[in-house]
């Protein structure tokens, strides 16, 4: 038998760390002992799920709604997935061969890489790709490099355009990459452009974003007609409070990027996958890896 020590502020936290480190399917509180003879606390499934969500910095209202399902699910993974499914909205990844999308979000959110990932999922006819990021040094080049591999030549687009470019009416997908912008004033202009092009704005946020910032961008995106959320850098984030806050604001989680390579690594993000990732990150923390 191997002994493992956890550094915790109190017995309840120690029980949480030990239970999560044992794996999502483990019985909460099983196999926990205390060096100074303290009484082992009773740690239920709901306690583990609550601790996981608080570890990530999830909004209190989301935690409350998820825990409403605690009587129906015997283990943390199933309880968390059921609660997320009932509380948040989820949508499938867009059909890249037919979608008309505009990616919006803060600077350095990974929109250009996400654009390339979406285009790489398409089939003939190839997507028509525009970018409003032509004024930033290297902006067009950053998009053009992966697009050239796909046989797509992106076109510059004025963010203030009031008429649809002729090529925007071509068959197949239409994907619009935008420069990073302020959530308040910048999104208003992008909303007008989205209506001009008849495209759907989709918010892109990095998994590492601050909770308050994520909520601010989510509300601004909703105000211009966005309804979906794509997450980047899931392979880099240790906590997902920001994406959870954005989703709790009313955006449907669509998918997440787990690698910077443009040709793959874009995964659907349903309730089971999200619950597994949340638990996995908490388990790393419990194991001292994160």
What are the tens digits of pLDDT across the range 229-285?
999 999 999 999 999 999 999 999 999 998 877 667 788 999 999 999 999 998 887
- Is 165 a residue whose pLDDT tops 80? no
Q: Decide if 131 contacts 101 (C-beta within 8 A).
A: no
Q: Which residue is associated with the tokens 């009587």?
A: 71
What stretch of H or E contains 86? helix 76-87
Give CA–CA dist 226/126, Å, rounded: 24
Note the pLDDT of residue 209.
Answer: 96
Architecture label for domain 100-269:
3-Layer(aba) Sandwich (3.40)
Q: Which of 14, 26, 31 is nearest to 279 (CA)?
A: 26
Report the number of secondary-structure helices (H) and strands (E) in the chain: 10, 8
Per DSSP (E only), the strands in the chain are 100-104, 128-131, 155-156, 174-177, 200-206, 228-232, 252-257, 266-268
Note the helical H segments in 224-270.
241-248
At 25, the pLDDT band (50, 70, 90 cuts) reads very low
Q: Which of 145, 93, 117 is nearest to 263 (CA)?
A: 117
Least confident of 6-10, 27-31, 219-223: 27-31
| Average pLDDT value for the chain | 79
Give CA–CA dist 101/125, Å, rounded: 16
At 32, the pLDDT band (50, 70, 90 cuts) reads very low
CA atoms within 13 A on the CB side of 51: 25
271-286 and 76-87 helices, crossing angle to 10° = 130
For CATH 3.40.50.300, list the domain ranges present in the chain: 100-269
């Amino acid at each position: 038998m191997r002994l493992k020590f956890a550094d915790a502020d109190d017995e309840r936290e120690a029980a949480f760390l030990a239970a999560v480190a044992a794996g999502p399917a483990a019985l909460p509180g099983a196999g926990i002992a205390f060096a100074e003879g303290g009484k082992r606390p009773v740690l239920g499934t709901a306690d583990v799920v609550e601790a996981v969500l608080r570890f990530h910095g999830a909004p209190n209202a989301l935690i409350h709604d998820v825990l409403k399902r605690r009587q129906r699910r015997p283990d943390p993974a199933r309880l968390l997935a059921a609660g997320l499914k009932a509380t948040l909205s989820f949508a499938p990844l867009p059909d890249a061969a037919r979608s008309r999308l505009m990616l919006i979000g803060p600077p350095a959110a990974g929109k250009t890489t996400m654009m390339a990932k979406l285009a790489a999922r398409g089939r003939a006819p190839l997507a028509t790709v525009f970018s409003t990021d032509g004024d930033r040094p290297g902006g067009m080049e950053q998009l053009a490099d992966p697009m050239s591999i796909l046989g797509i030549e992106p076109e510059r687009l004025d963010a203030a355009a009031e008429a649809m470019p002729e090529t925007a009416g071509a068959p197949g997908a239409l994907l619009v990459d935008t420069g990073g912008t302020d959530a308040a004033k910048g999104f208003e202009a992008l909303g007008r452009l989205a209506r001009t092009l008849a495209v759907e704005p989709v918010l892109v946020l990095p998994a590492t974003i601050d909770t308050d910032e994520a909520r601010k961008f989510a509300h601004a995106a909703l105000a211009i007609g966005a309804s979906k959320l794509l997450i980047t850098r899931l392979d880099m984030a240790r906590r997902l409070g920001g994406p959870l806050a954005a989703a709790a604001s009313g955006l449907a989680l669509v998918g997440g990027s787990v690698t910077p390579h443009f040709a793959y690594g874009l995964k659907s993000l349903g309730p089971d996958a999200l619950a597994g990732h949340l638990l996995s990150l908490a388990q790393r923390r419990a194991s001292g890896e994160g």
